[in-house]
């Protein structure tokens, strides 16, 4: 394995308990909640696949078997659809299995995002890799991951994605203090803080759920003490890497200005479904006028 080969591995943490969506998530992983007609997680795996990340490692936990089933083949269902000549449904069923090679590992203790990423250490080895958080969906028409991979290759360190948010929203995110890099479209990260109070936030640049990391992050994570919420935070490990010297140090950020949908809480989840459904050719033309009437009638 060489360190400078193009990023091909993606890690998708999916061990969260989904308590915000109880009781829907009592017996079903939150990643399987449908966004229009496909589980949220499938958008994320499809995004990874589109960026050339064909080796996906999902970090799962208890009651997550439905995830494995979803990305597996269902020969009997496929045979029935084929016999009926329902090629469109067959295509949609097979789509999920054609996205790449998916591996699973369990995070035994829910010790936070940093700990979940550390569970990928052995699978990833000594290569740069991507991390995609399942709560964030990036519109497929807007490029982000492939740009981040290019920046990682150019800078040799780690790369995060940030987005401008209203200052009062910053406490829901990791927050980055950045400075411009001459002649480049990306910025240098000077510091990071996980979910700061509004008055302590160094900027209104929120960390969004896409990372391309140098494997040195694993060493740092092993030493990272529990931070906000008593959890081992990826943000804290990246803060350490940003200030470190030597190979694999340094963090840069790509400022994303495209469309992001958050499925992490009930309100934003509903907004994500409505936004995506309105864009769909098969649903938008009927949904949008209905929505307008519905809103006008309230
Ligand atoms: C995680 C990260 C946070 C980041 C966010 C993006 O938080 O810890 O830094 O801003 O994802 O969605 P979570 O939303 O899992 O609490």
Low-confidence stretches of the chain (pLDDT beneath 50): 1-3
Paired tokens of 26: 């009592």
What span, in angstroms and rounded, lies between the C-alpha atoms of 4 and 151?
13
Q: Three-class SS of residue 101? A: strand
Q: Whose CA is nearest to atom 10 of ligand 1?
A: 173
Q: DSSP strand E in 83-152: where?
A: 101-106, 129-132, 136-138
Annotated domain spans of the chain: 9-158+207-247, 265-298
Ligand 1 geometric centre to CA of 208 (Å): 7
Query: According to the model, what pLDDT value does residue 15 have?
Result: 87
What is this structure's pTM? 0.94
Q: Give bridge partners of residue 244 from the DSSP assignment.
A: none
Q: Is the CB of 39 under 6 A from ligand 1?
A: no
Ligand 1 geometric centre to CA of 200 (Å): 17
Query: According to the model, what pLDDT value does residue 97 have?
Result: 87
Query: According to the model, what pLDDT value does residue 109 have?
Result: 86
Q: Is the CB of 174 under 6 A from ligand 1?
A: yes
In sequence order, what DSSP letters do the residues of 247-264 get, joined into one string? TT--EEEEE--S-EEE-S
Q: Is the CB of 129 under 6 A from ligand 1?
A: no
Q: Which atom of ligand 1 is nearest to the CA of 16?
A: 15
What span, in angstroms and rounded, lies between the C-alpha atoms of 288 and 38?
20
Query: According to the model, what pLDDT value does residue 5 have?
Result: 61
Ligand 1 geometric centre to CA of 297 (Å): 37
Query: According to the model, what pLDDT value does residue 18 have?
Result: 85
Q: Is the CB of 133 under 6 A from ligand 1?
A: yes
Ligand 1 geometric centre to CA of 285 (Å): 34
Tens of pLDDT, residue by residue over 21-46, are 999 999 889 999 999 999 999 999 99
Q: What is the CATH number of domain 9-158+207-247?
A: 3.90.550.10
Q: Whose CA is nearest to atom 15 of ligand 1?
A: 113
The one-character DSSP state at 33 is S
Q: Which atom of ligand 1 is nearest to the CA of 173?
A: 10
Paired tokens of 267: 């309100």
Tens of pLDDT, residue by residue over 138-152, are 999 999 999 999 999
Ligand 1 geometric centre to CA of 175 (Å): 10
Ligand 1 geometric centre to CA of 113 (Å): 8
């Amino acid at each position: 394995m060489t360190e400078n080969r193009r990023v091909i591995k993606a890690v998708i943490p999916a061990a969260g308990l989904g308590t915000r969506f109880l009781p829907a998530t009592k017996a079903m992983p939150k990643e399987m909640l449908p966004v229009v007609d496909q589980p949220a997680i499938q958008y994320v795996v499809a995004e990874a696949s589109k960026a050339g990340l064909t080796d996906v490692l999902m970090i799962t936990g208890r009651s997550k078997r439905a995830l494995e089933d979803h990305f597996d083949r269902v020969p009997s269902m496929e045979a029935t659809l084929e016999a009926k000549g329902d090629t469109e449904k067959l295509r949609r069923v097979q789509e999920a299995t054609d996205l790449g090679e998916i591996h699973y590992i369990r995070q035994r203790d829910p010790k936070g995002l940093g700990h979940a990423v550390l569970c990928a250490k052995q699978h990833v080895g000594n290569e740069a890799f991507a991390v995609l958080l399942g709560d964030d969906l990036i519109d497929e028409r807007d490029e982000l991951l492939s740009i981040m991979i290019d920046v990682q290759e150019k800078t040799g360190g780690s790369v995060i994605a940030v987005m401008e948010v209203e200052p009062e929203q910053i406490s829901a995110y990791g927050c980055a203090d950045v400075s411009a890099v001459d002649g480049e479209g990306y910025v240098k990260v000077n510091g990071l803080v996980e979910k700061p109070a509004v008055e302590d936030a160094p900027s209104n640049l929120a960390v969004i759920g896409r990372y391309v990391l140098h494997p040195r992050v694993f060493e740092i994570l092993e030493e990272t003490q529990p931070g906000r919420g008593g959890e081992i935070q990826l943000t804290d490990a990246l803060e350490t890497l940003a200030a470190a010297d030597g190979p694999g140090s340094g963090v840069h950020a790509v400022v994303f200005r495209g469309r992001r949908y958050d499925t992490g809480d009930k309100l934003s989840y509903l907004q994500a479904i409505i936004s995506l459904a309105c864009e769909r050719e098969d649903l938008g033309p009927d949904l949008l006028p209905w929505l307008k009437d519905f809103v006008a009638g309230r």
